[in-house]
Amino acid sequence: MEEMISKVLIDQDTIKKRVSELGQQITNDYRGKELLVIGIFKGAVPFLADLIREIKIPLKYDFMAVSSYGSSAVSSGAGRSLKDLDTSVEDYHVLIVEDIVDTGLTLKYLKENLARRHPLSLKIATLLDKPDRRRVEISPDYCGFTIPNEFVVGYGLDYDEKFRNLPYIGVLKAEVYKK
């Protein structure tokens, strides 16, 4: 796998430090509130797992699965629900945890979908933000890193379901995804 990575964009220690900082910020912002953290399958799982361990208040978490990529390297732009929540969002402050905000189309779909369910509040935490690719007006409330428009994998992010298990964020060599 390593030979398919052109460079390490964000190393494991830097990720760990930033996730800890985000956890402290979220702890402070939600102290005394009923927090429901919603992880977006599959990419956000490593980030969510590390982040909730850094949030030092009681919380609940659940998962949704939404897809706009399939096995493509480019978002189709059409959000598609694959798995819904098991928990109602009413009476909770909801924090959506996403691996990356790219075009923003999937996240816009998610926010609209969840807002219709009447949470007390609705915010977004993302590990990575790629604003150069944004196609709709949406911004994360908590952001780990703003990155350039490069094809990244690792720490939950994939190409064709591979590379999720890398402990860092790496740039995938173009010849891997431009076959």
Active site residues: 102
Cα dihedral across residues 98, 103, 108, 110: positive or negative? negative
Residues 6+ apart with CB under 8 A from 92: 34, 35, 36, 60, 119, 120
Phi and psi of 30, rounded to 5°? -110, 10
Smallest CA-to-CA distance from 48 within 56, 60, 40, 58 is with 40
Cβ atoms < 10 Å from Cβ of 97: 24
3-state secondary structure (DSSP) of residue 3: helix
Q: What does the chain come to in residues?
A: 179
